[in-house]
A and B are shown apart, each in its own frame.
Chain A
Amino acid sequence: MNVEQCRLQEAKTKKAPWKKWGPYLSERQWGTVREDYSESGDAWNYFPHDHARSRAYRWGEDGLAGISDDRQILCFALALWNGKDPIVKERLFGLTGPEGNHGEDVKEYYFYLDSTPTHSYMKYLYKYPQAAYPYDDLVATNRDRGRSKPEYELLDTGVFNQDRYFDVFVEYAKASPEDILIQITVHNRGPEQATLQLLPTLWFRNEWSWGEDVARPVLSQLAQDKTGGIAALSHQGLGESFFYAEGASALLFTENETNTQHLVGTPNPSPYVKDGINNFIIHNKTDAVNPEKKGTKVSAHYPLTLGAGESRTIRLRLSDQPMKDAKKAFAEQFGKAYESVFKTRLQEADAFYAALMPDSFNSDQMLVMRQALAGMLWSKQFFFYDVGKWLKQHGIQPFKANQRSIRNDRWGHMVNADIISMPDKWEYPWYAAWDLAFHVTALTLVDADFGKEQLELMLKSRYLHPSGQIPAYEWNFGDVNPPVHAWSTIYTYLTEKAYCGKGDIS
């Protein structure tokens, strides 16, 4: 067994929670059924992209190149600003179903470049234009094109002309299951010097604003000087941990709470709201971030100026390891060991995939297969949807007759709160049972346990309808999809039997 295979084994036998952290953050939580509290069931328009930076989500979080723990208590993702956009880029932009001339469509360039099955090493690329992102042009031009015309894409707008963009590579490496090293490398691909404000961001999913007795977690600054910033994290369920941002000019704190003043004109209970950091960066509103340096959302601030063709790497660490001495912390956390963890994890990823690749493959076949699998692994998401609770919040009581009919009202038994393989974390950030059956055939190539868990999950009583129906997807769990679950199950079984010599009948 190679090292990554050993990690899979340790995760399976619960010796070490190597899969506790992963790319479980969605790329789009707005416009989903879960966040839809409208009367009409118009999920796209009830929670549009334009609200996402200001309005707290109830059922999940989203972000760029992000990760979270497997309950999505804590999230980390990339945010950035090119000095010209009207908002900080915190999440991928795209057209809603009604807006696109061919339905919903993400209008960004991002690539899942690598991942091991335990996410001990991961790599993602985001291409960020230096010119103002053409939000309005994309909406208007696509609206004017009919169904017979092709989609108007971001490249068509000209913002990438002369290569005036940044390549932003985000890499993760786990020193141990909950000690995560994060490296962000920015390249200026353009012909001139350009500036970029890089804002790696850490935040808690808001579990405390919805009328339940949940303690508010806290992030607070421990240290900040020219060597960087350190924040301490405390959450009842997650325990204590530390966030180190080497060389950050400041740590900016706010709360992951709705800016009701901005959205509906009612005063905010606290001056620090979800878009506080955005308003500080874009509008220079110095009172939008908490001078006491605490909150439930923090960005490490890195103003960068990069010459043509120049690149810069910044280093971060999110760690559950106790800190001995804040003064020596940076030397300890970012010493030679930091580099060697990255180097080792990448080598182990290479060894894992080398063992998987058939000898006959040429380098291009290996590239395609590895990126296909990277995408499969990056498309895992924490999917949270307690349908019974959601229905009650919509005024539907269980076992009561003659109520109005709303979406999923026959599925009140469902409690979704698991890591599930998504078809596409922006376009379809909800599982689809028949898609999932096909995902499993590829996932089992790298992680048989995860693949089998996915098949079993759909049959659990928290998922399966009492009638025996497998849930289709959140738009209508009761839709009829092709019955491919049995095929995927026997396929997975026979594959394992052929591979291990023994099938898993249980």
Chain B
Amino acid sequence: MNRKDRAGNNAFEGGFLGLDNIGIFDRSSPLPTGGYLEQADGTAWMVLFCQNMLEIAVELAIVNPAYINITTKFLEHFLLIASGMIRPGEEGGMWDEQDGFFYDVLCLPDRRSERLKVRSMVGLLPFCAVTIFERKLLNKYPELGSIVSGHLNARPELMAFIHDPQKPGNNERLLGSILNETNLRRMLTIMLDENEFLSPFGIRALSRIHKDQPFIYRVGDQEHRVSYVPGEGDSGMFGGNSNWRGPIWMPVNMLILRALFQYYLYYGNSFTIECPTGSGKQMNLYEVAEEIGRRLTNIFLKDEQGKRPVHGTSQKFQEDPHWRDYPLFYEYFHGDTGVGVGASHQTGWSGAIARIMHLFASFEAQEILDQSKEKSVSQTRQPVRKR
């Protein structure tokens, strides 16, 4: 598991991790400062991975008790990594209490460390590292409960930060999450701010605040800079083909939707948040997910003027009857306009919009809340038709 954890402290490195040019440095090369990066995304991916493995183990353990050991292994590992991510009370953890956001930590050769305050998907991924568990597992294997309490009792400082996985929520469900309710609200407020991550077409990979406030880091007389670049990339990192400094990427949006469902299943209808931030509109987390799903889908659908945002300003694609009804599923999309960017036929993960559209049209929020976890990730047997 911990192949990319040189300090052995459960805070992970990992390199570019699919996010190409998102950071201030090329994360797959040696740093110009020396030292290394503890990556918020790398660590969050590992938390999510542990949770997913735990979910798989739980499904197996319910049928076959031989899997209970592997269940506890991933449960403990999840708690360890979550602890490594926070390092409460210490300077240099990834969480920035003042900003209410996660950042990569630059660990310098002289043992100093500092957070690199780029507001990006890297910091949103810890929000995605969340999973609910149905009560039935603990009923069947009560010893799992004591493992959790044993781990947490030994680390009271951690409990002050992360969500208490022993605290039952909606329908007696349990929640594994790095964020407690206060911090969850703080992150949501940033994510749902249209001046930051919430675009008319989904969640951006980099906050729009870097349009006016680029993040600048100086090493000697060299200046490194991250600005908001919503369309094609302007840097040559990773071939210059893929840009994460502002555009909308379908796969990470999908993980955000998944996370919102998980929180919703736990917190239920009573948890509401202003969406978009500053709009005065309150929504529960299902409605927030639905709103983001609608914005993503709007990339491809005709708007009131009969235009598909994905086609941008191309008159041919917008108006010609032999072109206009052939939406292309690009690699990623412009962070302000939804225009398709990058590979033009990456029906691959952008084609996953089919799943997102199907998901929101196939069930009612209340139904999934009342029923089991399966409903939250998929359609029902007989899809409930929306009125």
Q: Say whether A associates with B.
A: yes
Partner of A365, one of B45, B60, B235, B301: B301
Residue of B with least CB distance to A497: B374
Contacts of B18 in A (CB 8 A): 434, 481-482
Residue of B with least CB distance to A495: B378
Residue of B with least CB distance to A443: B351
Partner of B345, one of A361, A368, A425: A425
Q: Which residues of A in the span 89-126 have a Cβ within 8 Å of any Cβ on B? A: 97, 100-106, 110-113, 125
Partner of B385, one of A100, A125, A359, A445: A359
What separation, in Å, do the CA atoms of A505 and B375 have in the docked complex?
18
What separation, in Å, do the CA atoms of A441 and B258 have in the docked complex?
12
Is B316 a contact partner of A379 (Cβ separation < 8 A)? no
Knowing A378-B347, A428-B343 touch, does A498 contact B4 (C-beta < 8 A)?
A: no
Residue of A with least CB distance to B13: A480
Q: Which of A100, A102, A104, A167 has the most CB of B within 10 A?
A: A102
CB distance from B289 to the nearest CB of A (A): 15
Is A371 a contact partner of B327 (Cβ separation < 8 A)? yes
Is A422 a contact partner of B348 (Cβ separation < 8 A)? yes
Interface string of B328-354 (1 = CB under 8 A from A): 110100000000001111111111111
What separation, in Å, do the CA atoms of A498 and B375 have in the docked complex?
6
Residue of A with least CB distance to B371: A498
What separation, in Å, do the CA atoms of A489 and B375 have in the docked complex?
16
Interface string of A480-506 (1 = CB under 8 A from B): 111110110111011111111101010
Contacts of A320 in B (CB 8 A): none
Is B351 a contact partner of A372 (Cβ separation < 8 A)? yes
| Stretch from B47-55, B89-97, B189-197, B215-223 that touches the partner | B47-55
- Interface size, A (range): 35 or more
- Tell whether A438 is near chain B: CB-to-CB under 8 Å: yes
Is B232 a contact partner of A368 (Cβ separation < 8 A)? no
Is B351 a contact partner of A487 (Cβ separation < 8 A)? no
Partner of B358, one of A358, A423, A428: A358
Is A480 a contact partner of B347 (Cβ separation < 8 A)? no
Q: Which residues of A in the span 388-442 have a Cβ within 8 Å of any Cβ on B? A: 421-428, 434-435, 438-439, 441-442
Interface string of B224-252 (1 = CB under 8 A from A): 00000001111110011110000000110
Residue of A with least CB distance to B250: A438
CB distance from A45 to the nearest CB of B (A): 14
Interface string of B256-270 (1 = CB under 8 A from A): 001000000000000
Is B45 a contact partner of A483 (Cβ separation < 8 A)? yes
Is A360 a contact partner of B381 (Cβ separation < 8 A)? no
Contacts of A495 in B (CB 8 A): 374, 377-379
Is A505 a contact partner of B240 (Cβ separation < 8 A)? no
What separation, in Å, do the CA atoms of A371 and B56 have in the docked complex?
32
Is B345 a contact partner of A369 (Cβ separation < 8 A)? no
Contacts of B53 in A (CB 8 A): 486
Residue of B with least CB distance to A426: B345
Is B234 a contact partner of A499 (Cβ separation < 8 A)? no
Partner of B251, one of A102, A111, A435: A435
- Tell whether B87 is near chain A: CB-to-CB under 8 Å: no
Is A368 a contact partner of B234 (Cβ separation < 8 A)? no
Knowing A368-B353, A438-B349, A497-B374 touch, does A489 contact B52 (C-beta < 8 A)?
A: yes
Partner of A489, one of B17, B56, B349, B352: B56
Is A481 a contact partner of B316 (Cβ separation < 8 A)? no
- Tell whether A155 is near chain B: CB-to-CB under 8 Å: yes
**How many residue-residue contacts, CB under 8 A, span A and B?**
221
Is B331 a contact partner of A424 (Cβ separation < 8 A)? yes
Is A112 a contact partner of B345 (Cβ separation < 8 A)? yes
Q: Which of B233, B320, B348 has the most CB of A within 10 A?
A: B348
Knowing A358-B362, A360-B386, A372-B329 touch, does A435 contact B349 (C-beta < 8 A)?
A: yes
Contacts of A112 in B (CB 8 A): 345, 347
What separation, in Å, do the CA atoms of A184 and B232 have in the docked complex?
36
Contacts of A373 in B (CB 8 A): 351, 354
Contacts of B326 in A (CB 8 A): 111, 113, 125, 371
- Tell whether A178 is near chain B: CB-to-CB under 8 Å: no
CB distance from A9 to the nearest CB of B (A): 18
CB distance from B119 to the nearest CB of A (A): 20
- Tell whether B355 is near chain A: CB-to-CB under 8 Å: yes
Knowing A147-B235, A379-B345, A438-B251 touch, does A480 contact B354 (C-beta < 8 A)?
A: no
- Tell whether B180 is near chain A: CB-to-CB under 8 Å: no
Is A427 a contact partner of B383 (Cβ separation < 8 A)? no
- Tell whether A34 is near chain B: CB-to-CB under 8 Å: no
Residue of B with least CB distance to A189: B322
- Tell whether B200 is near chain A: CB-to-CB under 8 Å: no
Knowing A147-B234, A493-B59 touch, does A155 contact B297 (C-beta < 8 A)?
A: no
Partner of B378, one of A111, A361, A481, A499: A499
Contacts of A375 in B (CB 8 A): 329, 345, 347, 351
Partner of A498, one of B251, B347, B378, B386: B378
What separation, in Å, do the CA atoms of A379 and B49 have in the docked complex?
27
Is B355 a contact partner of A445 (Cβ separation < 8 A)? yes
Knowing A372-B347, A378-B347 touch, does A490 contact B352 (C-beta < 8 A)?
A: no
- Tell whether B287 is near chain A: CB-to-CB under 8 Å: no
Interface string of A237-261 (1 = CB under 8 A from B): 0000000000000000000000000
- Tell whether B373 is near chain A: CB-to-CB under 8 Å: yes
What separation, in Å, do the CA atoms of A435 and B254 have in the docked complex?
12
CB distance from B250 to the nearest CB of A (A): 7
Is B378 a contact partner of A494 (Cβ separation < 8 A)? yes
CB distance from B371 to the nearest CB of A (A): 9
What separation, in Å, do the CA atoms of A434 and B352 have in the docked complex?
13
- On B, residues with C-beta under 8 Å from A are 4, 14-15, 17-18, 41, 45-46, 48-49, 52-53, 55-56, 59-60, 63, 231-236, 239-242, 250-251, 254-255, 258, 297, 300-302, 314, 316, 320, 322, 325-329, 331, 342-355, 357-358, 361-362, 373-375, 377-381, 383, 385-386
21 contacts between A and B (CB under 8 A): A105-B343, A111-B328, A360-B385, A360-B386, A365-B357, A371-B326, A379-B345, A425-B345, A426-B343, A427-B342, A435-B251, A438-B349, A480-B17, A482-B18, A486-B53, A489-B52, A490-B59, A494-B373, A495-B374, A500-B381, A505-B63
